[in-house]
Amino acid sequence: MKTIKFLSVVVCASAVLLSCNKNGVTNKPLNTQIDSVNYAIGAFSAKGLMANIKGSNFDEADKDLIKQAFINVLDSTDVLIEDTEAQKILSNYFAKKQQEDQKKAQAEQLKKLEEQYNDVKVAGENFLEENKTKEGVKTTESGLQYIVLKEGNGEKPEASSKVKVHYHGTTTGGEVFDSSVDRGTPSEFGLNQVIKGWTEGIQLMPVGSKYKFFIPQELAYGAFPRQGGVIKPFDVLVFEVELLEIVK
């Protein structure tokens, strides 16, 4: 949308140079109403273009090149970039810039959250460090911890499988944030649609099994859980999961 708006303003702003030639701008007096209308179109278009450039966070604007392009198009001579290529150039540039801006903003937000919730992050690390020494707790290479509460004898799902499960999710302090058990209805979902800890953990389970998982924050929601929920940034999550079936 930003690129389309940018392009539309550029097209309108071509009116700014209706009185231009290759040697620059000729200052004409406004003798008639039509002269004033033409000048007003140019003035509004130019202000709109500059406002849109600023709104697009485009700091590399070169007014001389912009003027050159307008003059080339108006005179139909020496046009260096045609419409289709111009659209592609602008679309690619602003798409890449938007990604870079989002990445930068997320990094800045992450830094703030790490400072604000450092106690939660440290508490989670300490919890997992102590928990892995407890009887029955197994730890995978990724850091996922689990206890086998009941071992089934069915087949194991794959990363692309859809499964039906009953589960009960809490924080390490025991606060419930989600539970199909409490709702009384099993849930179905694809293992490629859930947090990494679930994707990895449920693949360890034969159908009919019930496991308890201790999921590190980096395999859960990390710094960005759902806003307004029970889960804090960097929380370790605890789930009891019963794998009922692999949905065909």
Residue 239 annotated as catalytic: yes
Residue 167 annotated as catalytic: yes
CA distance 210 to 147: 9
Choose the catalytic residue: 221, 231, 234, 235.
221
**What are residue 95's phi and psi, to 5 degrees?**
-65, -45
Are the C-beta atoms of residues 238 and 172 closer than 8 Å to each other?
Answer: yes
Which of 215, 198, 199 has the alpha carbon at shortest distance from 128? Answer: 215
CA distance 244 to 206: 9
Choose the catalytic residue: 146, 211, 214, 239.
239
Residue 177 annotated as catalytic: yes
Choose the catalytic residue: 147, 178, 189, 246.
178
Choose the catalytic residue: 41, 147, 195, 246.
195
Choose the catalytic residue: 117, 167, 214, 234.
167
Choose the catalytic residue: 44, 58, 177, 189.
177
User: How many Cβ atoms are within 10 Å of 225's Cβ, its own excluded?
Assistant: 18
Kindly give, in sequence order, each residue whose CB lies less than 8 Å from that of residue 149, ignoring residues fewer than 6 positions away.
210, 211, 212, 240
CA dihedral 146, 150, 151, 153 (to 10 degrees): -140
Query: Catalytic residue numbers?
Result: 167, 177-178, 195, 221, 239
